[in-house]
Structure 1
Amino acid sequence: MGRPAAVLASGAALTVLCGCTVQASGEGQRTPVRIELPSGTPSAKPAPPDDKPSSTPTPPAPAVLWSRGDEGRDIRELQARLRQIAWLFDGPTGTYDDLTEQAVRGFQGKRGLPRTGKTDEVTWQRLLKMTREPGKWDLYLMGGQEADAPDARCLTGRVLCISKSSRTLRWMIDGRTVMTVPVRFGSQYTPTREGVFSVYWKSRHHVSTLYDSPMPYAMFFSGGQAVHYSSDFAATGYAGASHGCVNVRDERAIAEMFAQVRTGDKVVVHW
């Protein structure tokens, strides 16, 4: 009995090592048990976690709305809003010039924005929150507006056709506009008279005896009211008013007009 038992024991050991199925013989047979040996190649270990934080993509730069060289009504609004908060003192001109670029750069730097001098979406939104909607004469503070259609009374003869609606003066001959300039009128306390008049006196170097102020290139049409050059209008635009005269801010243009207008030419002041 000793030898067969040893043979059986060795066989069982060999079976375990070979990974085969072991079955018991005779009655009371049990469910086979399968024993697997580990393979010779170890399973790969999971990669250690990356200690470096994942890189976040750089957000795109805000879109540029306007930059140097751009022109138009939007540039006037930009300049008018910059004037409100004292970053710009000239204009509005409607042209994105070097002064506008410097003003935008200063505004950006003051608020921690990139100092590009270009008006991007972020800069514009910040400016909108700090300013009010500019009115028409804020946008055209220094002139540049279009003239409205001439009054019917201006379509014949030689006429200084002056519109209070568009704040412009057309110098017209036989229905043709020779030149157009922006003009300024009297305040509510000293309004410019409306109607049809004629030039009754011209005075190149006139000085007002009532207000002791210069009135160069004066062309009188109603009492003491005249069309003349105004250095104040040239400096401050529509922020001021006259004492009833029609002010012109373009000295070159009124000098040329003064040379052409004759005593007796018609003057029409209308809405």
Structure 2
Amino acid sequence: MTEGQPGLLALVLRSGRRNTGGAGDPAVEDAGVPAEPGAPAGARGLAGARAPGAECDLRTGPYQEAAEDHLSLPEDGVQSADDCEAIRQLQVRNELTAADGYAGVETWRIIQFERAAAQPSSLVGCGQETGVVVCVDLTRQVLWVRDGTRVLFGPVPVRSGMPGYATRTGRFAIYQRVEEQWSDLYDGPMPFSQFFSGGQALHGSYREIWEEPGSHGCVNLRYRDAERLWRALRVGDTVRLWGERDG
């Protein structure tokens, strides 16, 4: 199920579960950065993104060939004006603020997300779980939720731990939910926090999801995705994470 499409999520929304679960306050390990003063919660927009026709970065990026393949461009591995504009449009539609047409690591992550969204058969790796399970592919930086063989939510892009702050891998369960968490450690908001391992949580971010180098260990989602995920999950639901953030 791709972003914006009506899907099966509505069948499993559990309204009324807005309270926290579990005992005690976790030592949270991440935080987002608040939106600009006066902006509504979760607002991000494309302010600062290059407008159509703006000057492109004509350097050849490290993911040039991947971008050419993904966008069905002539595959010569060399940036051109036409390549740059096509890559820039890819960046704009995925809300990359620095949409300059350069095929850097942010563009690679966008390609990984779009490929996952376009190929439901690629949503594998979560094991033989029964019931609702959150699947987090750290290599591709995407998350989805399934119930048995049905995909109920996603895939959506995520941002996991940066070097030195790796997101833990393995099988966990959501043990506490806090709708309006604040990280004292990093002095920032963590909206729709769903904790699965110590201070590591699935939560929304006011920062651009493609921002490098990564989180402080939590699995960050776009604000709107985190809000939808909050309505879909409850304490005790399984979370499985595998792979490693590259780039």
TM-score, normalising length from structure 2?
Answer: 0.55
Q: Indicate yes or no: 2:72 matched with 1:100.
A: no
- Give the letter aligned to residue 124 of structure 1: A
Give deviations 1:74-131, integer Å, cap 9, x for gaps: xxxxxxxxxxxxxx953xxxxxxx8232446x99xxxxxxxxxxxxxxx728979xx9
Q: Work out whether residues 217 and 258 of structure 1, in 8 Å CA contact, stay in contact via their aligned partners in 2.
A: yes
**Cα distance in structure 1, aligned partners of 2:127 and 2:48:** 39
Match of 1:162 in 2: 136
Match of 2:24 in 1: none
- Give the letter aligned to residue 217 of structure 2: G
Matched residue SS, 2:127: helix
Q: Work out whether residues 160 and 217 of structure 2, in 8 Å CA contact, stay in contact via their aligned partners in 1.
A: yes
- Give the letter aligned to residue 190 of structure 2: M
Unaligned runs of 5+ in 1: 1-87, 91-97, 108-122
Matched residue SS, 1:229: strand
Match of 1:267 in 2: 239
* Structure 1 position 239, deviation (Å): 2.2
Q: Work out whether residues 184 and 247 of structure 1, in 8 Å CA contact, stay in contact via their aligned partners in 2.
A: yes
Matched residue SS, 1:165: coil
Q: Indicate yes or no: 2:114 matched with 1:145.
A: yes
Q: Structure 1 residues 89 and 171, CA, compared in 2 at 3 Å: closer, same or farther? A: same
- Structure 2 residue corresponding to 1:207, chosen from 174, 182, 189: 182
Q: Indicate yes or no: 2:172 matched with 1:197.
A: yes
For CA contacts below 8 A with separation 6 or more, give which structure has more relative contact order: 2
Q: Work out whether residues 109 and 141 of structure 2, in 8 Å CA contact, stay in contact via their aligned partners in 1.
A: no
- Give the letter aligned to residue 253 of structure 1: D
Q: Work out whether residues 154 and 175 of structure 1, in 8 Å CA contact, stay in contact via their aligned partners in 2.
A: no
- Structure 2 residue corresponding to 1:241, chosen from 214, 222, 225: 214
Q: Work out whether residues 112 and 140 of structure 2, in 8 Å CA contact, stay in contact via their aligned partners in 1.
A: no
- Give the letter aligned to residue 212 of structure 2: A
Matched residue SS, 1:179: strand
- The runs of at least 4 consecutive aligned structure 1 residues that moved more than 4 Å come to 125-128, 141-144
Give deviations 1:232-257, integer Å, cap 9, x for gaps: 234xx2323110000002x2222121
Structure that is richer in helix per residue: 1
Q: Indicate yes or no: 2:178 matched with 1:226.
A: no
**Cα distance in structure 2, aligned partners of 1:143 and 1:126:** 18
Q: Work out whether residues 226 and 246 of structure 1, in 8 Å CA contact, stay in contact via their aligned partners in 2.
A: yes
Q: Structure 1 residues 126 and 164, CA, compared in 2 at 3 Å: closer, same or farther? A: closer
* Structure 1 position 173, deviation (Å): 1.5
Matched residue SS, 2:216: coil
**Cα distance in structure 1, aligned partners of 2:174 and 2:227:** 16
Give deviations 1:206-231, integer Å, cap 9, x for gaps: 00121111000000000000000011
- Structure 2 residue corresponding to 1:124, chosen from 60, 81, 88: 81
Matched residue count: 156
- Give the letter aligned to residue 239 of structure 1: E
Matched residue SS, 1:196: strand
- Structure 1 residue corresponding to 2:146, chosen from 172, 175, 197: 172
- Give the letter aligned to residue 243 of structure 1: H
Q: Work out whether residues 126 and 240 of structure 2, in 8 Å CA contact, stay in contact via their aligned partners in 1.
A: no
Q: Structure 1 residues 102 and 223, CA, compared in 2 at 3 Å: closer, same or farther? A: same
Matched residue SS, 1:101: coil
Q: Structure 1 residues 143 and 217, CA, compared in 2 at 3 Å: closer, same or farther? A: farther
- Bigger shift: residues 134-143 or 161-170: 134-143
